[in-house]
Structure 1
C-alpha cells in the first residue's frame, strides 16, 4: 500500500475549528473514508477529534508547558497535538501511533505547517515513552479495551516525573476523579462525535 497516496486521496487540506492556525489533511465523512482506505483500522488519523483539538488549543495558549522541552504525543492520529507542540516551541517532538497511515498523515501534516517532528510506529500502551519531559494524549479513552492500559502507561510517565496532559470530552471510560485544567466547546464535531458541539476538557495526570 502507498500510504501517502491513500492519505492524499481520502483527505483535503483544512483547519480544525478550535485550532485554526494549524492545517491538516482531513476527511469529511468517517465511514466513507474507512471503506476507501481498505484498512482494518478506522482512519482515526483523518479527523480532528475533540480531545485533540482541546489539547492542541491548550498547548498553543500556554506554550511554557512545552517550550524547550522534549514532548511525546501518544496515539497521535493526525499529528495535530504534536504539531501544536512544535509551534509552541518544544525542543523535540515525537508523535507515536500504531497505524502506518497515521504516520504518513503526520508527516504530511507536519510539512503543511512547516515544522519538524519524529513520527514513530509504536504501541505506547505497551511501551510508554521514557525520555519525554511532557507527554500529551488526546482521545485515548473511547474504548473499554484501550483505556485501562493507556491510562496505566500515562500514569507510569507521570510517576517518573513527566508532565502528562490528556484531552477528552469525558467519554464513558475516562476517569471521573480528575480535575480539568481547562474546558472548551469544540464546534463542528458532528462527523465523529454524537453532537455538533462537544464540551471537552484538558486534564493533568498526577502520581498516585
Structure 2
C-alpha cells in the first residue's frame, strides 16, 4: 500500500515556529522518537530515509537566523539550499529577498515537506531531488545547514564547496559543532545559542556557528 506523503506529514506533525526563527512556520514533529519509529514501521518498506525534514536542526536554524538578520546576504541573488530538509533555510532566503531559490534534497518526501512549509509562509520555492554533489550549481550563493556529520560525506562536500568558492560563489554553512566540520577551510560569520529537540541532540541548546568557505 502506497503512503501519501502529504497525508502522512499533516497527520504526524504540527505547524509551529522553530524557537530561534519565530518568523517562519514549519510542519514539525513534536515527539522525535515517535515519528522516527512510525516512519520506520510504515515507510521502511519503500526505502525512505529517516524524516530529517520533520525537525528544525540547529545548523539550519542558525543559518536561517543569519539570513533573516542580514537580508543583503541573499537579496536579488540566486540561492541554492543544499540538503534543505524542512526547507527552513530556503524559506528564509526567499523571505529575505532572494530573486530565486532552489531547495535541494535527495529525500523524495522533502519535496512535499518543503512545498507545505513554503505555502504555510505564503511563498513558494523551487525543489530538486537530484544529487548535486560535485556538480555545477546554477546559483550565486550556496547555503548548507548541518551537513558535516559523516566523514565520507564531509570529504566530498569539502572538495565540492572548495571548487564552488573558487568559482566565485559564496558558500555559507550553519553548523552546531558536528564532528567533521573543516574549520581550517572556513571564515567565521556569526554564532548563536539555538534551542533544539533534546531527543535528537546531547543538550537543550546547541552553540551554532555560521561559516563562510574561504575562496
Length-normalised TM-score, structure 2:
0.91
After superposition, the C-alpha distances for 1:7-45 in whole angstroms (9 at most, x for unaligned) are 112211111100000000001233321222224411110
After superposition, the C-alpha distances for 1:73-128 in whole angstroms (9 at most, x for unaligned) are 00000000000000000000000000011111000000000112101102122435
1:184 is aligned to 192
Aligned residues of 1:75 and 1:124 also touching (Cα < 8 A) = no
The structure that is helix-richer by fraction is 2
Length-normalised TM-score, structure 1:
0.94
1-structure distance, mates of 2:166, 2:8: 39
2-structure distance, mates of 1:78, 1:167: 15
2-structure distance, mates of 1:78, 1:29: 16
After TM superposition, the structure 1 = structure 2 runs for residues 90-109 of structure 1, keeping only pairs within 5 Å, are 90-109=98-117
Segments of 5+ residues of structure 2 without an aligned counterpart are none
Deviation at 1:155, TM superposition (A): 2.0
Aligned residues of 2:27 and 2:54 also touching (Cα < 8 A) = yes
1-structure distance, mates of 2:175, 2:106: 20
1:3 is aligned to 5
After superposition, the C-alpha distances for 1:39-74 in whole angstroms (9 at most, x for unaligned) are 441111000000000000000000001000100000
After TM superposition, the structure 1 = structure 2 runs for residues 117-156 of structure 1, keeping only pairs within 5 Å, are 117-129=125-137, 131-156=138-163
Say which one has the larger Rg. 2
2-structure distance, mates of 1:75, 1:158: 18
Aligned residues of 1:73 and 1:82 also touching (Cα < 8 A) = yes
Deviates more, 1:1-10 or 1:70-79: 1-10
Change (3 A) 1:150 1:29: farther
2-structure distance, mates of 1:127, 1:35: 34
After TM superposition, the structure 1 = structure 2 runs for residues 195-206 of structure 1, keeping only pairs within 5 Å, are 195-206=203-214
Change (3 A) 1:35 1:189: closer
2:41 is the alignment partner of 1:33:
no
Deviates more, 1:91-100 or 1:155-164: 155-164
Give aligned pairs, total.
Answer: 206
Deviation at 1:171, TM superposition (A): 1.0
